[in-house]
Amino acid sequence: MKTIRILINGCNGKMGQEVAKRARIMEGIEVLCGVDKADSGDNFFPVYTDLQAIKEIPDVIVDFSVPSSSMKILDFAVEKKVPIVIATTGFSEEELAKIKESGEKIPVFQSYNMSYSVIVMRKICSELAKLLDGTDIEIVETHHRRKIDSPSGTALMLAEGINEALDNKFYYEYNRHDKREKRSPNEIGIHSIRGGTEVGTHAVIYFGEDESMEIKHTVTSRGVFAEGALKAVKFLINQDNGVYNMKDMI
């Protein structure tokens, strides 16, 4: 098997560093170069701060950065015809539309969560919502103090799965502080907790009469996401143009 040479966008971030570390020991993958706002000088691969200066053409790009940077590296990927794995979260509707459009020109993999278990959780939570129709559903996500977007992309992904399973009857409630009214049966409350170094926890709770049920997923190491992103690299290199996600890979 030919070694796949990757470019890591956001290479100096927590996830970028984790991807580089894993790629170093994973067979069939090599880090060709990285892109970030500044070159820390600590990497074992060349780091670019300007996309125009990149000399190498990678086989696949892996993006763990911020939405504005993802959009720039996406333009670069389309221009150079390089498949891209987008793991960044917090995109606007317009940015998501641009990602979808790019799938007509290159293979694109996008997932708000690169963990296989979370995709299983989405499936279970959607099924449970049907079985427990009529319960009040709340989602609580917890992340480290540095996370800039909220709610997490994964919380939204879980909510969307539940909503699709029940004919899109729900709307999402993020803020009850300004309201003085009872909870609607058609809302899914989504709550974000931020603090410390917590990697990421998602809980979906179904509240019924005198009972409740909770499905919870906890990640204790970023390695889980890095591993998933590198598996997505190996998957994407063999795909035609299109937008893929974890469900396609599984």
CA distance linking residue 16 with residue 19, whole number of Å? 5
* DSSP secondary structure code for residue 168 in this structure: T
Q: Contacting ligand NAD (CB under 6 A), which of 4, 7, 15, 155?
A: 15
> Between vectors from CA 176 to CA 143 and to CA 152, what angle results, nearest 5°?
25
**Residue 111 makes contact with ligand NAD by CB under 6 A:** yes
- Least Cβ distance, residue 167 to ligand NAD (angstroms): 28
Q: Assign residue 31 a region (left: φ > 0; alpha: ψ between -120 and 50; beta: otherwise).
A: beta
Nearer to ligand NAD, 13 or 83 (CB): 13
- Least Cβ distance, residue 17 to ligand NAD (angstroms): 8
Per annotation, catalytic residue among 21, 80, 123, 147: 147
CA distance linking residue 209 with residue 76, whole number of Å? 53
**What is the pattern of x (binds ligand NAD, CB under 6 A) and - over residues 180-199?**
--------------------
SS3 letters across 2-25: CCEEEEEECCCCHHHHHHHHHHHH
CA distance linking residue 38 with residue 3, whole number of Å? 27
**Residue 36 makes contact with ligand NAD by CB under 6 A:** yes
Q: How many Å separate Cα 108 from the centre of its chain?
A: 13
CA distance linking residue 205 with residue 232, whole number of Å? 30
Nearer to ligand NAD, 3 or 221 (CB): 221
**Residue 110 makes contact with ligand NAD by CB under 6 A:** no
Nearer to ligand NAD, 65 or 135 (CB): 65
Report how far apart, in Å, the C-alpha atoms of 149 and of each of 50, 156, 182, 219, 230 are.
25, 12, 28, 18, 23
Q: Of 66-74, 128-136, 159-167, 170-178, which part binds ligand NAD (CB under 6 A)?
A: 66-74
Per annotation, catalytic residue among 143, 202, 217, 231: 143
Q: Of 24-32, 112-120, 125-133, 178-186, which part binds ligand NAD (CB under 6 A)?
A: 112-120
**Residue 35 makes contact with ligand NAD by CB under 6 A:** yes
CA distance linking residue 100 with residue 123, whole number of Å? 23
**Residue 114 makes contact with ligand NAD by CB under 6 A:** yes
**Residue 225 makes contact with ligand NAD by CB under 6 A:** yes
Q: Reduce the DSSP state of residue 132 to 3 states and report it.
A: coil
Q: Would you call 143 a catalytic residue per the annotation?
A: yes
Binding site residues, ligand NAD, CB under 6 A: 10, 12-16, 35-37, 64-66, 68-69, 87-90, 111-114, 225
